[in-house]
Structure 1
Amino acid sequence: MKAFVLDRYGKGRSLRSADVPTPELRDDEVLVQVHAAGVNLLDSKIRDGEFKLILPHRLPIVLGHDVAGEVVKVGSRVRQFKLGDQVYARPDDLRIGTFAEFVSVKEASLAHKPKALTMEEAASIPLVALTAWQALVEKANLKKGQKVFIQAGSGGVGTFAIQLAKHLGATVATTTSTANVSLVKSLGADVVIDYKTQDFEDVLRDYDVVLNSQDTKTLEKSLRVLKRGGKLISISGPPDPEFGKEIGAPGFVKLVLRLLSSGIRRKAKSRGVTFSFLFMKANGRQLREITPLFDAGVIRPVVDRVFPFESTNDALAYVEKGRAKGKVVIKVR
């Protein structure tokens, strides 16, 4: 099959277009013919070697963390899917590889594609939807009437998280550039801060939850907009000790994670708020809970550009610029 392969870690390194074997199928997996694959900053960070400590991939690997496609083969223990089913997923860590014509996905990580969406739209969903769900529903337990600050509202996670938070009944604040103010308002944002002319710290007060996706400076400022008892959830780091436990990291890695997050955890504690790091996980059950929200029109996908399969490296470069509105997708089939 055709695929885009990472041979060696390196910042900005191009993926190699190659013919590689079709993935071997385990008993609990489904072989999906890839119609479309979402592109995420996570792909670039893995390529650059930023996750070598916590995601020990054996190179060479095929990158890609989002897929929409058709079931062409099922493992002997698979019961929920059959040949011809249209599906979508975020494959498990260390089993990624959607920048290819075929990918194998655990049955437990797979869901039937929303009927209302095209393959390209569906491929834009899994990673960002699961990130927002695990942050706002699982970790934050966001409730009706609460206030949540979602950073970078026009990005992939932001466009979904705003809509999910509004569906849950929260008041939503977000940051974006002047050009994207109308977009985030159309998604349901109540308070929109143009980061080019305003500082969110001057505008926001007594928030229940912050979903942080930016740098260290923004992370520390976010503490000051939370009320006592509030929750700061970061998807951009630093990883905390709990994350080390979740991934079963070796002792020296756990120590590194503890040191990396010690400063922000200490500052959070002094302000009476909690800090936690989220590295989203593949989860078909959660994806199946999310699917009806698209079919009912409660949430809509936001796709910036669709690149042809042969332009996978161009798609990665475009995502790295950080200016995409919503998601970038590769059309494979």
Structure 2
Amino acid sequence: MKTREIRLERVPPGVPCESDFEIRETTIDALRPGQVLVKNTFLSIDPYTRNRMKSVLKPDDLIPGRCVGEVIQSMNTAFHPGQKVLSACGWREHFVAQSADLQVLDGALGPLQLYLGIAGSPGLTAYVGLLDYGRPRPGETVFISAAGGAVGSLASQIAKFSDCKVIACAGSADKVAWLTEVAGVTAAINYRDVPDLSAEVARLCPEGIDVLFETVGDQKFDALIGHMRPHGRIVLVGLIGRMNDAVSKPGLTNLEAILMNRLTIHGFGVNDHMGRMPEFRAVLKRWIAERRVAWRETIVDDISNAPNAFIGLFSGENFGKMLVRLDPTAEAA
């Protein structure tokens, strides 16, 4: 059978563009014993893919990524047609898998694409990153950067559940409205609309910030450090604001604030905590049943549009989780 996949045409020197990718038609041969044929339903579009391009990917390599899909053929007794599965086998419409490549999903949390977003690695990042390393306490002030994204939107709500004052930062008026009206944060900032972000943070956080949950890492991060309270905790979970730099920019300049306020900065990698996924999903299932948690998705149709969806991450085009839908009959969550 014929199918399509996305490969790297060249390693982007800066911000990726559409010509950095190749849409390739391939042929899938008949299955051999032990193999499973999967038809993907949704592809996850994630910033970490940019780091892979800079570090390990070469031209002609398959673009890596997580996906959810359905078993359509099987020569493996552990799988049968119709089963829903999670995998990390790249940007493909179909693929042949072994048992170790697949995790069977029961759909108990809702639509399958949730396992790529709020019920997947982005959600786990928010849960473990904020609670274990941010350690928010009732009454403290928590600042969430990129709060309109897949990670930040859940982290904002977890901070609220911790009885904190939550200040969320995002890049559009509709994200700010959702964060205040639906996610229920204390206040939200549209950083594109404020002439002086530092002054706005000072207005909203007159006593300073106790916990900074940082996913961007650009010059705004340096400014925010100056608003941290003594013994504040900074959780650095992403650097999307620096991923496309052809040459590394200078690092933090506000070192005096880090020293004098005895701040803690913790770099977070979700792959260190995948063993916590069952615990997190059990908690998330309760939150969903209690209607305490909300989420957003940005869905782009057809694998041919995956490169542009990926490029859009770097200008904030996603609201919540960015997904590519490969099955036109699949519904949004």
TM-score range with shorter-chain normalisation? 0.7 to 0.9
State the partner residue of 2:117.
124
Q: Contact 1:201–1:221 (CA<8 Å) still a contact in 2?
A: no
Q: Contact 2:299–2:325 (CA<8 Å) still a contact in 1?
A: no
* Identity over aligned pairs, percent: 17
Q: Contact 1:111–1:285 (CA<8 Å) still a contact in 2?
A: no
The letter of the residue matching 1:86 is: K
- CA spacing shift, 1:314–1:262, aligned 2, 3 Å: closer
Q: Contact 2:8–2:58 (CA<8 Å) still a contact in 1?
A: no
State the partner residue of 1:277.
267
Q: Contact 2:235–2:266 (CA<8 Å) still a contact in 1?
A: yes
CA distance in 2, matches of 1:286, 1:74: 30
Q: Contact 1:302–1:325 (CA<8 Å) still a contact in 2?
A: yes
Which of the pair has more CA radius of gyration?
Answer: 2
State the partner residue of 2:279.
289
Deviation at 1:260, TM superposition (A): 6.8
**DSSP 3-state at the match of 2:270:** coil
State the partner residue of 2:156.
162
State the partner residue of 2:325.
331
- CA spacing shift, 1:233–1:180, aligned 2, 3 Å: same
The letter of the residue matching 1:4 is: I
Q: 2:175 aligns with which of 171, 175, 180?
A: 180
CA distance in 1, matches of 2:8, 2:227: 41
CA distance in 2, matches of 1:109, 1:165: 33
Q: Which moved more, 1:104-113 or 1:317-326?
A: 104-113
Unaligned runs of 5+ in 2: 30-34, 241-247, 328-333
* CA RMSD in angstroms, aligned pairs only: 3.8
What is the CA deviation profile of residues 153-208 of structure 1, one whole-angstrom value per residue up to 9, with x for unaligned ones? 21222212212322344332112333332200111211222321362432223322
State the partner residue of 1:222.
224
What is the CA deviation profile of residues 128-162 of structure 1, one whole-angstrom value per residue up to 9, with x for unaligned ones? 21321232133223344433110122122221221
- CA spacing shift, 1:108–1:34, aligned 2, 3 Å: closer
The letter of the residue matching 1:183 is: W
Map 1:91-170 → 2, pairs under 5 A = 91=88, 97-102=90-95, 110=103, 112=105, 114-125=107-118, 126-170=120-164
State the partner residue of 2:47.
41
- CA spacing shift, 1:134–1:7, aligned 2, 3 Å: farther
State the partner residue of 1:14.
20
Q: Contact 2:232–2:261 (CA<8 Å) still a contact in 1?
A: no
**DSSP 3-state at the match of 1:304:** strand
Corresponding residue pairs, total: 296
Q: Contact 1:61–1:97 (CA<8 Å) still a contact in 2?
A: no
Q: Contact 1:32–1:105 (CA<8 Å) still a contact in 2?
A: no
Instruction: Indicate yes or no: 2:11 matched with 1:2.
Output: no
**DSSP 3-state at the match of 1:61:** coil
CA distance in 1, matches of 2:304, 2:201: 43
What is the CA deviation profile of residues 77-106 of structure 1, one whole-angstrom value per residue up to 9, with x for unaligned ones? x9xx754543446x4xxxx51444237599
The letter of the residue matching 1:210 is: L
| Structure 2 length-normalised TM | 0.72
Deviation at 1:36, TM superposition (A): 0.6
Q: 1:208 aligns with which of 207, 210, 214?
A: 210
Deviation at 1:210, TM superposition (A): 0.3
**DSSP 3-state at the match of 2:20:** coil
**DSSP 3-state at the match of 1:329:** strand
CA distance in 1, matches of 2:73, 2:162: 37
State the partner residue of 1:193.
189
- CA spacing shift, 1:113–1:223, aligned 2, 3 Å: farther
**DSSP 3-state at the match of 2:229:** strand
Q: Which moved more, 1:115-124 or 1:103-112?
A: 103-112
- CA spacing shift, 1:284–1:212, aligned 2, 3 Å: closer
Unaligned runs of 5+ in 1: 24-28, 239-256
Q: Contact 2:226–2:254 (CA<8 Å) still a contact in 1?
A: no
CA distance in 2, matches of 1:209, 1:31: 45
State the partner residue of 2:66.
66
Deviation at 1:317, TM superposition (A): 3.2
| Structure 1 length-normalised TM | 0.72
CA distance in 2, matches of 1:214, 1:97: 25
